[in-house]
Chains A and B, each alone.
Chain A
Amino acid sequence: DTEVTQTPKHLVMGMTNKKSLKCEQHMGHRAMYWYKQKAKKPPELMFVYSYEKLSINESVPSRFSPECPNSSLLNLHLHALQPEDSALYLCASSQEWTANTGELFFGEGSRLTVL
């Protein structure tokens, strides 16, 4: 089973709303990632969690708040977003966060629209 599940698939929110994106994997992977992807651009790394601890924050604005409740779950809490934050948000996982992570497995993504 090489599945990463993301919910919701689509989310529309106003700039004053608070919402969350959720990600789940049951492959026993110990590294989980959030990427942001704009149209016709490659995925951009936002956060990396390794063994449930935040390892990388790519200078992401504080209106994005990640959380890793356990080794299978990853959340991204959203608050006071801007229209330019509209994008496809991708969750991924890999066996480890090391020099040789092996392949990343991505979820289907959550399409976020900020009005």
Chain B
Amino acid sequence: EDQVTQSPEALRLQEGESSSLNCSYTVSGLRGLFWYRQDPGKGPEFLFTLYSAGEEKEKERLKATLTKKESFLHITAPKPEDSATYLCAVQARNTGNQFYFGTGTSLTVIP
């Protein structure tokens, strides 16, 4: 049973076309939900940590939100340089201390 599911698998946007990526989780006792950006052949780059439902974090064109079942990464007026794979990961009471990663959303922003 997948504990972290990301959708869509791939997303193509025109430059300036806002959208949202989803990360749903089924773990219990969430201790943290983490968003990362990963460029091809590179390591994941940390973006946000969310700890409790209702929490929101923002960075430039990105905004992450958290509910009791899912997190959204909102991308406002994206630019081509936002093209990357976005990974979410959770750490929870029933995952020990481990991070469980979703399979990611591959975002392509077309000029």
A binds B: yes
- Taking Cβ atoms with an 8 Å cutoff, the residues of A that contact B are 2, 4, 6, 40-43, 45, 48, 56, 88, 90, 92, 97-109, 111
Kindly specify which of B40-48, B58-66, B70-78 makes contact with the partner chain. Answer: B40-48
Complex alpha-carbon distance, A105 and B98, angstroms: 14
Q: Are A43 and B46 in contact (CB under 8 A)?
A: no
Docked CA distance A45–B14 (Å): 35
Contact check, A99 vs B97: say whether CB atoms are below 8 A apart.
yes
- CB contacts (< 8 Å) of B97 on chain A: these are 48, 97-99, 101
- Can you give 29 A-B contacts (C-beta < 8 A)? A42-B101, A42-B104, A43-B101, A45-B99, A56-B98, A88-B41, A90-B44, A97-B97, A98-B97, A99-B91, A99-B93, A99-B97, A100-B31, A100-B91, A101-B32, A101-B97, A101-B99, A102-B32, A103-B32, A103-B34, A103-B49, A104-B99, A105-B46, A106-B45, A106-B46, A107-B43, A108-B42, A108-B43, A109-B42
Besides A43-B44, A101-B32, A106-B36, 8 other A-B contacts (C-beta < 8 A): A41-B103, A43-B101, A48-B97, A90-B43, A99-B93, A100-B31, A100-B91, A102-B49
| A48 proximity list for chain B (CB < 8 A) | 97
Main secondary structure of the interface of A (DSSP, over half): loop
Q: Which of B31, B34, B102, B106 contacts A104 (CB 8 A)?
A: B34
Complex interface bits, B79-107 against A, C-beta within 8 A gives 1, otherwise 0 = 00000000101010100011101111010
In Å, the complex CA distance between A111 and B34 comes to: 24
Task: Report whether over half of chain B's contact residues are helix, strand or loop; otherwise say mixed.
Answer: strand
Query: Inside 8 A of B36's CB, which chain A residues have their CB?
Result: 106
Residues of A within 8 A of B45 (CB): 106
Residue of A nearest to B99 (CB): A104
- Indicate if the CB atoms of A42 and B34 lie closer than 8 Å: no
In the bound complex, residues from chain B placing their C-beta under 8 Å from that of A6 are: 43
